[in-house]
Structure 1
Amino acid sequence: MLYLDHAATTPPYDEVIDAVAEVMKLHYGNPSSIHKLGMQAEKLLNSSKDVIAGLLGVLPQEIIYTSCGTESNNMAIKGVAYNYRNRGNHMITTQIEHPSVLEVFKQLEKEGFRVTYLPVDERGIVSLDALQEALSEETILVSVMQVNNEVGSVQPIEEIGKLLAAYPKTIFHVDAVQSLTKLPLPPKAWRVDLFSASAHKFRGPKGVGFLYKQEGIHLLPLLGGGGQEYGLRSGTENVPLLVGMAKALRLSMEHMAEKSAKRYELRRRLVQGIADIPELALTGSQAEAETAPHIVHFSFPGMKAEVVVHALEKRDIYISTKSACGSGESDPSKVMLAMGCSRERAVSGLRVSFSDTHSLADADQFLSALRQTVQELAPMLHQTSARKGQRK
């Protein structure tokens, strides 16, 4: 089996699986309980937060545990909107954000907030000039993902942070679900006030994530309850998964530069191989400064993406179409359309995503299978074109 869908989810480390199982078995106390078992669980909860904060160069109290990236994004965006609406009702995001961001802004628009959706260019990158033009004294939030989950384009987060330094009342949120452990994101140096993360994207367990919230930023809680997580996220903490997340983050960030270099090496091999197949078209920029190290996106114009996915699946190779949250849909990719791609290309987009555990031999295996698949499917395109010609 060759699993190349790491942007959708990642296989957890063996050490993470063992840690989660051990905590579930031995440390099942409620961390809010005052007895010994509860205090043991609370100690694990706090030590996990210390590990995460230390790895990110932030304070432990700036880490808010959540259930996933979607909850983290909702907490950040709605929390800012509701808490700071006395400052203004304008917010800015981009046209290519994850649904857990775009759908939140659509909800807020129905509540009277005004949202600017910045366009992107053919590389899938937002314009700093467009952001500057959209900003005003009424802007309370700018939310921009660091890495697009579908095509892998990298947004200029550091430059956006510098631009927003002139707008101290505007809060900056980054969806870092696809970028954390893949690319640098120093929140203090880059003036990032909030960023979202999800453990299963860096070989941790599903069902757990966190939100970095800089001290001094206040959010209106989305859940009322027992007051856990400094009153921002009530509910009994899932200690086994939190321990697993901290361990996965530590393992993923060890030797991060070397791992990134290996991913880019794999990416170069894949890009070259795909470029050599005339029926396929790479999506966006291939400059390494403008794209994530673990994602390659391309299209097979005229062929529905799911046909290619299932053809490769028969060879025990697994890739995806669009994002995992929308991969079951046959509609054209909104991200590709926003980048100026034709509808024909936007319904045929394919995403390959991988990790530092993959090898050049894995890349070559995939490329060989892809070439065979294209050769098998290409005649279908000619038949379709012929039928269209006959109808004319």
Structure 2
Amino acid sequence: MPTEVLDFYRAELEHSGANQEAAHRLGYELRRRLDAAARELSQALADRDNCTVIWGTSGTEIFNLLADSPAVAGKRVLTSRLEHPALLAALRRSAAEVKFAPCGKDGRLQMPEDSGAELAAFHQVQSELGIRQELRPLPGVPLFVDAIQAAGKLPLPPEFDLALLWFAATATLAESAHRSRHVDDGRGSPETALLLTLAFAATRRRAAREATLRRISELNAAARELLAGLPLPGGARSFCTVPAEAASPFILHLTLPGVQSGVVVRMLSEEDVMVAAGSACASETRTPSAALTALGFSREQAYSGLRISFGFDTSPEDVKKMAEALKRVLKNY
């Protein structure tokens, strides 16, 4: 994390200790600063400053808030089997009916024109495979966008009604979710210093977004050249699961047929290389990847996926180190 952001957070921990709900002057000043931070965050992530911001503590919390809102409760919802398990669980709990849109072999959604849905809920970037969707609203159907893997990295879709923007502390929602302060809805109040720091960091990141996107895209392309076609035990070869043109450059997903990727993850960690066997929330489960099985992979193949993430500070040297370590691990597998 940049030193500038850490220094800002430390300062806020010292000076933002008031209760934002308090009636005294310090509470009022903190509410004013949070309102300003919400506008800054909206501008940084959505390129407009008029999104309503609902502060929360996690993506799962916001999914459940959405599910309990009039936008979902008792409604017919169109989604996909590639969505985050926490979102699917929330929709199944609250919606009257959940329908699934099909997807192509590259994971791109095939949106039906007449679904009968009252809300569409889809990811912008799939959390495990990195599939990047070109989302468009269906006529007369509000669109909820899970943008957790895209916020601060990619532009949001030009049109959306509801968008989960950031895994750590916020979501922007339209008319169906209009509260910007904590109310008695069963949620706790997030740490105010963290929220103010989030807006500061997002604004800083927005200024460098285009340059960062170009640099990470180049690193992703280099990694694809190094990692596709590696020889595997049993005679198969590795391949990139999602074509570059259909994927976020911040995620590279490899399939290693015949190899247990959970074992590879642990072997790579001994080489000081940290990757994942799937999305972080499901990386230690004993079930095969739901995302890979949704794309038609066999149960055996669905255990062989390797998710590689690119951070804002990933370097060409990091990519080379990772590729060399993976080759050694596969040789010794």
Normalised by the length of structure 1, the TM-score is 0.78
User: In proportion to residue count, which structure has more helix?
Assistant: 1
Inter-partner Cα distance in structure 2 for 1:147 and 1:192: 15
Give unpaired runs (5+ residues) of structure 2. none
Compare 59-68 and 298-307 and name the one that shifted more.
Answer: 59-68
CA displacement at 1:182 relative to structure 2: 1.7
Any residues of structure 2 matched to 1:229-308 within 5 Å, and which? 229=182, 235-279=188-232, 280-288=237-245, 290-308=246-264
Inter-partner Cα distance in structure 2 for 1:281 and 1:65: 42
Contact 2:224 2:240 in 1 (8 A): no
Contact 1:96 1:335 in 2 (8 A): yes
Contact 1:262 1:356 in 2 (8 A): no
Q: Amino acid of the residue matched to residue 285 of structure 1?
A: V
Contact 2:261 2:305 in 1 (8 A): yes
Q: Deviations over 1:70-112 (max 9, x none)?
A: 22222223314456x4xxx311000110012111122135xxx
CA displacement at 1:19 relative to structure 2: 2.0
Is the radius of gyration larger for structure 1 or structure 2?
A: 1
Inter-partner Cα distance in structure 2 for 1:258 and 1:220: 34
Q: Summarize the Cα distance change of 1:331–1:95 in structure 2 as closer, same or farther, 3 Å threshold.
A: same
Give unpaired runs (5+ residues) of structure 1. 1-11, 200-207, 222-226, 378-392
Any residues of structure 2 matched to 1:66-215 within 5 Å, and which? 66-81=56-71, 85=74, 89-108=75-94, 113-128=96-111, 131-133=112-114, 135-136=115-116, 139-157=117-135, 160-161=136-137, 164=138, 166-167=139-140, 170-186=141-157, 190-199=158-167, 208-214=168-174
Any residues of structure 2 matched to 1:303-314 within 5 Å, and which? 303-314=259-270
Contact 1:13 1:248 in 2 (8 A): no
Taking only the aligned residue pairs, the percentage that are identical comes to 25
Contact 2:169 2:190 in 1 (8 A): no
Q: 1 or 2 for the larger relative contact order (CA 8 Å, sep ≥6)? A: 1
Q: Is residue 7 of structure 2 the alignment partner of residue 24 of structure 1?
A: no
What is the aligned residue count?
328
Inter-partner Cα distance in structure 2 for 1:276 and 1:68: 38
Q: Amino acid of the residue matched to residue 372 of structure 1?
A: R
Inter-partner Cα distance in structure 1 for 2:11 and 2:290: 43
Query: RMSD of the TM alignment (CA)?
Result: 2.2
Any residues of structure 2 matched to 1:324-335 within 5 Å, and which? 324-335=280-291
> After TM superposition, which residue ranges in structure 1, 4 or more long, deviate above 3 angstroms?
57-61, 80-83, 229-237
Q: Amino acid of the residue matched to residue 101 of structure 2?
A: L
Any residues of structure 2 matched to 1:48-67 within 5 Å, and which? 48-55=37-44, 56-60=46-50, 62-67=52-57
CA displacement at 1:18 relative to structure 2: 2.2
CA displacement at 1:375 relative to structure 2: 0.8
Counterpart in 1 of 2:23?
34
Identify which of 353, 374, 386 aligns with 2:309: 353
Q: Amino acid of the residue matched to residue 106 of structure 2?
A: R
Compare 301-310 and 232-241 and name the one that shifted more.
Answer: 232-241
